[in-house]
Structure 1
Amino acid sequence: MSDFETGDKMSKLSKKVISVILCIAVVVSTFIFFDFSGTAATPDGTDIPLIYVQGAGMPLFVKDENGEEQEVFPVKIPDGFIEKTVKDNIGIFAKAVLTQKWEEFGNVLGDALSEIYSTISLDEHAKTQNGVYLKWTWNKAKLNPKKSNGKYPTQRYTFNYDWRLDPYENADILRQYIEDVREVTGADKVAMSGRCLGSCVTMAYMEKYNAEYISDYILYASALDGATQCSRCFAGNMYIDPDGVERVMYDLQLSEDDVTNQLIQSFVTVFNRTYGLDITCAAINNVLKKNYLEFMPQALRNSYGTFPGYWSMVNERDYERAKDTVFHGDGVKEKYADFINIIDNYHYNVQVKSNELLKKFADEGVNVANITKYGYQTYPVTTEADMITDNICSVYDASKGATTATIMQGFDDSYIENAKLNGTYKYISPDLQVDASTCLFPEKTWFVKNIIHRTFPKAVNRLIDAIVNNGSDFTVFSDPELPQYMLYDKEANEITPLVSENMNCDARYHVTFFDAFKKMWKCIFELIKRKFQPVEPAPEV
């Protein structure tokens, strides 16, 4: 092989690798942005008004020079942007690979992300720039105070907010919203549910203003104790897990064509089981371990590392390391001193004290409950890629302390035997994956399997309504139709008790090498057949 051919192949390989790195950097930055609701399966409602606080991801806007409104979030990657960035900087990447000095590449990556995120990024004082604003607002005079069929619809009083900002800043706005709802409805107290990042905003409100006007408080798919990807990425504690990469393929739709999608899934399984992914991931992990501080801090600061809202979802285990990572570099911590004070204030007064605060509110009569979703592995960017999650938040964090097995196997016989002996077996899920006995509120924590983090189907409103309408005495043992462990039926858009007949909805992860190998070749032959199969001529008109 000639030097020219070798160099050409190296160039193509480098382009692929740098494209992957840039794509990962962009995709990682949107891990927990999106937050969608499903459609209602049945009429719902609560006896008192419920303040329903959304998660992250509400659209953001600016006015252009002509005064026209332009949407700036979700961010849009310009056509050809990644290809051009790769082409312009292939030499810098190759140099980094050869010398193992990644600072220059870090500057390129930071500049690329800045071009995408600069409009919505906050400054070093956590203040918004460029006139970015949240379109949603409310008018007290237009808040509907009337019940519908004797109930307040569960999501009528939905509170949106600029998810980039300090949760305390949004808590101040939430306070006014609560006051307005109380005034127009005449209710002395309201119920409140915070989902995903909304759990951080609602807890900031309760820490600052107490729970005088809150009767019921529900954590729903909570990020109060952290979101795995956000924590790991900020802390630089990332590891690409080969088995996790294989499994996550079965949670993704990488092609609109089912056969192509199945081919990708089965190929990745075969590639991993023949140790191909081990080699690839080992090379990436070597760079992540040795060189993360050289190329990621600036990229983080130029994208979502300037959002206090995201910092509220960095867990206690990673928090201090995350600050050292994101604000790495000469004079950086000094420049961001105000920003660090803001995120520290939330972290140490809300997240760290949240268990203590929740117990206090419960003792004062607030009906505190938790709804946690599960049935998915996390994105494979951690050594714990087999943890049980809703794809974003671990069950341990979201439920405030549940003990879990792994996504691939349940608790072993000795664990089950011990649970039977110590009286905690009643808290173990039918699929033997979750033990709620170690939760902060074991009898007030429900789990719904088969719901990924970014979807919030209104079928769950039935459970939310029951918790609010029945008060503190309502537990996971009160209603056989709403037990501690439930399953979300996507086709029927309903939640039903989790039982042995329906609990294996995560069987997609349990693919044998032989089955994947057969599937791969079946898909290949199907695609070949399509390519050479004669196309029927259109009938003459």
Structure 2
Amino acid sequence: MKNGLRKVLSFMLVIAMLGGFAVPAFAADAPASAERATTIPTVYIQGYGAEIYKDANNVNSEIIVGGDVPFLSDGVLGSLLENIMSPLMKGVTTGDYSEYNDYVVNALTADLGRFRLDDNGEPSDGSGNFCRRTKNVVNKKWYDGKYDIYAYSLVYDWRVDPFLTASELNEYIGKVKLATGSDKVNLVGRCLGANVVLAYLSEYGYDDINAVNFYVAGLEGFEIVGALFSGRVEVDSDALDRFLQATLDGEEDELIDFAKSLIAILNFVNGLDLPIDVVYGIYEQVYSDIIPRVLKESFGTMPAFWSFVGEEYYEDARKLNFPTTEEQTRYAGLLEKTDRYYNEVSLRTEDIITGAVESGVSVYFTAKYGFPAVPLSKEAVYYSDSTVSVTSQTVGATSTVMGKTFSADYIKNAEKNGTAKYISPDKCIDASTALLPDHIWFVKGSKHANMPNCVDIMMASIFEATGNREKYVSVNDIEEYPQYLYVENADEYAPLKIMTSDDADVGNEKWDKSIFEHLAIFLEKLLNFISELFSQIMSDVNKS
């Protein structure tokens, strides 16, 4: 593990990546589908990303973030990087990074501040999305007596306290029950929606709920958010290599293919370690100033984003951002909300879930994997859906380091203990260590941002098999939906397939090339460059 790699630039990379998170966690209303219908109505709680309007009550007012408006506006990061070298070099040569810190903070907060909340973690500027809320809930039952899984989708302000949203969910559930005549509803909590569901269950109990599916949920926190908020950013060179291989689009792009292969070769010979000490030294001098100042003008004012900071990171994040009594007093309203979620939900997640099961609620998990996470946390070496780890999605499933499989001894011990059935056919995931191993479905090959219809159909099928608290469905009960499945591409309507040992490498081709493959690509592209350069020189000579 090579800790600290490029940590200064990593901070800016986090902001850049967060700029792309607005849309993926929230999906627009999908066309109704008979295949994904349920007899008991389902309330779908999406993640963050719904439009936030400058005037919460006016749908025609400016959208300040969400929908097609990203967290970080186009051109902001490019402009920041374009002029960053002068203050950075001044800091390196003098040891005084104050000018560099001010430059980074001002460049980012000037843009991100447009959708911050106030010091109490509330939208006191009148922004929000009340104009998009469902005013009159009607019965959307189809002729066959079923409801589309998206028929009742909660729209909410994804910046605010999850307990506030939970109260809105409670009210919405009441309206759905009244409109449909159903005594219970199913819940799908996707991404941040899972945090809302946990807050709801903690506050309002289980009586109105038939079944819950936690879908790509960060039930133990989103590692990337925890690392950023706490300042504990770590970059492993192998994780960085894998992330770049998987993320950079090298199709028919000679330069990108060349760069990716060069990175892989450098990593193979430990060449990416060279800048670690210098860059880590810089990071240690700037992060405690930059991170709190940026967060207090953006995501750090949002209780919902604090709900992504799991037990591993929360106390460190709180100390970093609010180190003094004066700051704790100023932000007392915000801290009251974040501490409440941490103490009543984050530290009690297992109790809330097991309490639901003991009360008759069927609790299910739909997890995705097969992708490198953004390489900014120590957990990024493990499998994820590109955003949150398998372990956090499932409350405890075990993942190998990416590119590795469980050892023969590990599998032998699992066979001895009777838990080998929980190991994935690709030998990368072990569900037996999770809180509820018999009720987790893993889908390989679909990223966090993707919303494949086949997964919605699977969740609806599981809800249907559950009935009205009649059967707690396990991974052994539906033939077409065993524990491990996969999709071959990100197409919305790609089919869900049963994984076998023959499918072990599905989805790995972008990031799991051997060093010999990279060397071959590197030499091929290098020869192409030399050939093109030689041809250009000869052409210029002939012209002269």
Shared fold, TM over 0.5: yes
Call closer, same or farther: CA 1:198–1:84 in 2, change over 3 Å. Answer: closer
1:180 aligns to 2:175 (yes or no): yes
1:58 to 46, 50, 53: 50
Do the aligned residues in 2 keep the contact of 1:31 with 1:392 (CA within 8 Å)?
no
Do the aligned residues in 2 keep the contact of 1:42 with 1:459 (CA within 8 Å)?
no
> What SS is found at the alignment partner of 1:446?
strand
Call closer, same or farther: CA 1:45–1:307 in 2, change over 3 Å. Answer: same
For 1:440-479, what aligned pairs fall within 5 Å after superposition?
440-471=435-466, 472-479=471-478
Task: Letter of the 1:474 partner, please give it.
Answer: V
**Aligned position for 1:483:** 482
Do the aligned residues in 2 keep the contact of 1:374 with 1:448 (CA within 8 Å)?
yes
Partners of 1:101 and 1:259 lie apart in 2 by: 41
Do the aligned residues in 2 keep the contact of 1:225 with 1:315 (CA within 8 Å)?
yes
1:498 aligns to 2:499 (yes or no): yes
For 1:383-398, what aligned pairs fall within 5 Å after superposition?
383-398=378-393
Q: Please, what TM-score do these two structures have when normalized by structure 2?
A: 0.87
> What SS is found at the alignment partner of 2:160?
coil
> What SS is found at the alignment partner of 2:474?
coil
Deviates more, 1:148-157 or 1:472-481: 148-157
Do the aligned residues in 2 keep the contact of 1:19 with 1:82 (CA within 8 Å)?
no
Partners of 1:161 and 1:281 lie apart in 2 by: 42
**Aligned position for 2:539:** none
**Aligned position for 1:517:** 519
For 1:162-241, what aligned pairs fall within 5 Å after superposition?
162-241=157-236
Q: How many residues align?
A: 515
Call closer, same or farther: CA 1:328–1:279 in 2, change over 3 Å. Answer: farther
1:246 aligns to 2:241 (yes or no): yes
Q: Displacement of 1:313 after TM fit?
A: 0.8
Do the aligned residues in 2 keep the contact of 1:171 with 1:202 (CA within 8 Å)?
yes
**Aligned position for 1:70:** 62
**Aligned position for 2:540:** none
1:336 aligns to 2:349 (yes or no): no
Q: Over aligned residue pairs, what C-alpha RMSD do you find?
A: 2.8
Do the aligned residues in 2 keep the contact of 1:377 with 1:385 (CA within 8 Å)?
yes
Call closer, same or farther: CA 1:502–1:147 in 2, change over 3 Å. Answer: same
Q: Please, what TM-score do these two structures have when normalized by structure 1?
A: 0.88
Partners of 1:78 and 1:454 lie apart in 2 by: 19
For 1:350-369, what aligned pairs fall within 5 Å after superposition?
350-369=345-364
Partners of 1:70 and 1:281 lie apart in 2 by: 43
Task: Letter of the 2:480 partner, please give it.
Answer: E
Q: Displacement of 1:293 after TM fit?
A: 0.9
Call closer, same or farther: CA 1:341–1:259 in 2, change over 3 Å. Answer: same
Do the aligned residues in 1 keep the contact of 2:140 with 2:151 (CA within 8 Å)?
no
Partners of 2:260 and 2:330 lie apart in 1 by: 46
Partners of 2:406 and 2:419 lie apart in 1 by: 13
Deviates more, 1:53-62 or 1:320-329: 320-329
Percent of matched pairs sharing the same residue: 27
Query: Structure 2: which 5+ runs fail to align?
Result: 1-5, 537-544
Call closer, same or farther: CA 1:59–1:261 in 2, change over 3 Å. Answer: farther
Task: Letter of the 1:49 partner, please give it.
Answer: P
Task: Letter of the 1:483 partner, please give it.
Answer: P
Call closer, same or farther: CA 1:362–1:463 in 2, change over 3 Å. Answer: same
Moved over 6 A (4+): 38-42, 527-533
Call closer, same or farther: CA 1:498–1:213 in 2, change over 3 Å. Answer: same
**Aligned position for 1:35:** 25
**Aligned position for 2:134:** 138
Do the aligned residues in 2 keep the contact of 1:120 with 1:130 (CA within 8 Å)?
no
**Aligned position for 1:26:** 15
Residues 341-363 of structure 1: CA distance to partner in whole angstroms, max 9, x if unpaired? Answer: 11001111012112111111111
Partners of 1:76 and 1:363 lie apart in 2 by: 40
Query: Structure 1: which 5+ runs fail to align?
Result: 1-16, 534-541
**Aligned position for 2:542:** none
Q: Displacement of 1:523 after TM fit?
A: 3.4
Deviates more, 1:300-309 or 1:80-89: 80-89
Q: Displacement of 1:421 after TM fit?
A: 0.7
